[in-house]
Every structure is written in C-alpha cells, then in structure tokens.
Amino acid sequence: MFVGDEVRLDVSFAVARERLARLGESGALLGTSEDAYGPGLTRVGTAGVSKLVRVQVRELRSTDRSAGLALRWEATGAGGGLFPVLDADIKLAPAGQQGTLLTMAGAYRPPFGPLGGALDRAVLHRVAAATVRSFVARVAAQITGQPGPAQAVIPKGAGSSPPPPGSPSEVKA
C-alpha cells in the first residue's frame, strides 16, 4: 500500500536542504524519542495507536533541483512482525524563490495476506496516513524552526483531501 504527504515550507530550497542534511546526519529526525527508547528507536503512530519502531535513515542525496533521503520504519519487540515495514523517501524540491516542497512517499505491505489487506482498507491505512502526516509535520517544524504537533489525530476522511490552509501541513518559517 502506498502512503504519503506533502507540505510547502516558506524557506528557500538551499536552507531546507542544509537543514534536512543536518537532521539526517545528527539523528534529529528521531527527535527526543531516541533519548527515551535508545539509539535508532522512536515511537510512531496516532492517538492511542502507536508502536516502537527502529528507524534507519540513509545519507542525503542532493542535486540543484532536489534533495532526499531514504527512511525505513520497522516495528520492534514482541509482536513486531504484526506490523508492516515502511520504506519511504523524504524529498525536497524548490517551490518558487523562497519556498520548498517537502514530500514523503512510501510503501508498506500489511501483514496477514488477504486478511491484512482487508483490515488495511477498512482502518489501518487511515492510521498509516495519519502517522506519515504527523511525521511530515514534525520534519517540517524542525526544518522551519516552528513548533510541531504533539501527536496526530485521525481526522474524519483522513487521506481523502488536502488539509485546509493554516493546518499543521502548511508550515511557515
């Protein structure tokens, strides 16, 4: 299943690229969760549904027109195999002279074969979309220096339409 989100940042591409590189190199993409859970671990999820995951981040690749890094979330501990592994790319692209588009696009395969696919269509995809939306908002906040969301809440009809102006998915520096 595919999942993703995007936000427009009111910082130049050059600034956003430098800040994303620092986030990837320093491990700051994990935020303060690493202090609580250990190296390479963070908690992802949405209101009441979260799981400890091991996060792997690949080095930033960059050109004059785009920059990006690869990311993998894999559930840890007892029952980790009950959760899908997410492989995703975080990308930046110029959006005008002083703007940058931040996108995250990924894919996961629900566990349990056809039953997992049915559960994903019924409920789990909304959780995955809200988790990615929350993560993108936190990355955007770290790039722009704005406060990020404390936790995601699954809105009615999640993933079916873009967020309204001024929502956490529209971040300014």
Confidence grade of residue 33 (pLDDT, cut at 50, 70, 90): very low
**Residues 30 and 114 sit within 8 Å (Cβ to Cβ):** no
What are the tens digits of pLDDT across the range 67-103?
A: 999 988 887 776 666 677 889 999 999 998 899 999 9
Using DSSP's 3-state secondary structure scheme, residue 15 falls into helix
Tell me the residue range of the domain where 155 lies: 2-171
CATH number for 151:
3.30.530
**pTM score of the predicted model:** 0.70
Whole-angstrom CA distances from 70 to 129, 135, 154 are 18, 14, 25
Other C-beta atoms closer than 10 Å to the C-beta of 99 total 16
Give the phi and the psi of residue 170 in degrees, each rounded to 5.
Answer: -120, 100
What are the tens digits of pLDDT across the range 97-135?
A: 899 999 999 998 887 788 878 877 777 788 888 888 988
Domain count, the chain: 1
Using DSSP's 3-state secondary structure scheme, residue 4 falls into strand
Given this model, what pLDDT does residue 148 score?
A: 54
